[in-house]
Structure 1
């Protein structure tokens, strides 16, 4: 856990969001099952949410139901959550998983939004599958570094520890990088959904061998031909100067949405600000027919 958490019971908006239980589905991609969650009415414009490294689709459980204008899907990338594992992982494969999930849901050129490492995946979708998406957006994916969760965890390629109880495991939940504030009710929900049974105990779902060698954003941003946007977290990894450098690399520019007082993981500390930003972006971006 990071240095401090905000306290208090879960507010009504959080309970209402979780009450909108997602549909849970599966599609096979390159021989591996990919699980995903879906919210909203079929036929609405599509939005695909891509989690960060070592995370899972449940990180969006309290965000996705509030994006009422769209049919929203959030997948577990292979090696994460409840999806299958592979012998090796790469951004191109994960990008194909995003497109396959959108196709399975019959989403016509959805917007793809990814957090941290998921931002890399989203940009690869935009570069390698431009005809499949209406636009791509990233949340706090830094320009000249690998995603922080990969950078810090790739050197710890060892089996996960097993905990005797869910409560003990949840108490050990950490974000990478750490941040000063995590809303406790969000943290507990996300942490509990990050666990799987391991014999008589509980361990983390993600594959400790999942780290690959992604391209840097300096390589991806100049190749974009679809609309793109950046959500910049005030207390995250992308400072205003870096955001300006990123915008200069994108043909046609890069709108930057600032999330005040947000850490690297805004869905865990400032989720309503994140929802507001996403709603605004979706309202302004054109919807494909």
Structure 2
């Protein structure tokens, strides 16, 4: 569902004020490629790195980040293969984890950053915590199932043929979350959709590498995560009530860490809470950061 002009005009004040706080755009080199960043808040202060999900980009956080930037430096990156970052020949998750830490350093965060990851970005955040054990202050993982797609799902995705669309409005009208969910705030969906496309001169396309899944596969499957027992930072796991993760699975995920994650539930939220429950999501993030920093 994408917004009409009328529904966008009806966006609440908090949203219009948030997206009016335009980010500072930066780039950092990681493994020989340019990684694009959006940054908010005062440089040289404690900070948060926001990591998007698969086929998404840093603009998914445009209405979330300014609400966190009142107390923190906030950096959102486009992982390679996404948004305005480099397209690579392969996408190991360890490389994405290193990009997150490069973004924290280049984005002006002082000290050890907090890492917030949604869906696939939650898996990346977990690898950051294990791979950069002493360099992370805390991890917040949002509705990441920590499960690989089935063979049937992989085959189905590989058969999809990307296409260009004649106009920006045409491609934005086709914006959908994956998986789809019943509630998308129309003004959020429209903003994210408009930030998700680029004009190639021969038509409008989505801002992600259409061959990403194929480049991630090894012997027909995505390599499994290594052990997360080495994560030293505290971990908060946010389970979305209407998302992908059951309460039982959330407890299993929490136990993957040496110090089990704390699990909280975001009521009435689908898998993409920034799309349907953004203010409760912000409140949960603010609370976690405040509690960790008060220790």
Query: What is residue 123 of structure 1 aligned with on the other side?
Result: 126
Q: Distance in 2 between matches of 1:154 and 1:126?
A: 32
3-state SS of paired residue (1:44): coil
Change (3 A) 1:216 1:120: same
CA contact (8 A) 2:26 2:107 kept: no
Runs of 4+ in 1 over 6 A off after TM superposition: none
Selected match of 1:134 from 133, 137, 146: 137
Selected match of 2:181 from 179, 182, 187: 179
3-state SS of paired residue (1:259): strand
CA RMSD of aligned residues (A): 2.1
CA contact (8 A) 2:130 2:229 kept: no
Structure 1 residue 258 corresponds to structure 2 residue 265: yes
CA contact (8 A) 1:89 1:210 kept: yes
3-state SS of paired residue (2:49): strand
Query: What is residue 15 of structure 2 aligned with on the other side?
Result: 14
Q: Distance in 2 between matches of 1:114 and 1:215?
A: 19
TM normalised by structure 1 equals 0.91
CA contact (8 A) 2:185 2:276 kept: yes
CA contact (8 A) 1:26 1:36 kept: yes
Q: Distance in 2 between matches of 1:59 and 1:141?
A: 16
Change (3 A) 1:153 1:163: farther
3-state SS of paired residue (2:242): coil
Change (3 A) 1:238 1:70: same
TM normalised by structure 2 equals 0.89
Deviation at 1:195, TM superposition (A): 0.3
* Unaligned segments of structure 1, at least 5 residues: none
Deviations 1:199-224 (A, max 9, x none): 2421111001222155546x444332
CA contact (8 A) 1:138 1:230 kept: yes
- Between the two proteins, the alignment pairs up a number of residues equal to 280
Deviations 1:3-62 (A, max 9, x none): xxxx67110000000111000000111111100000001122110000001000000000
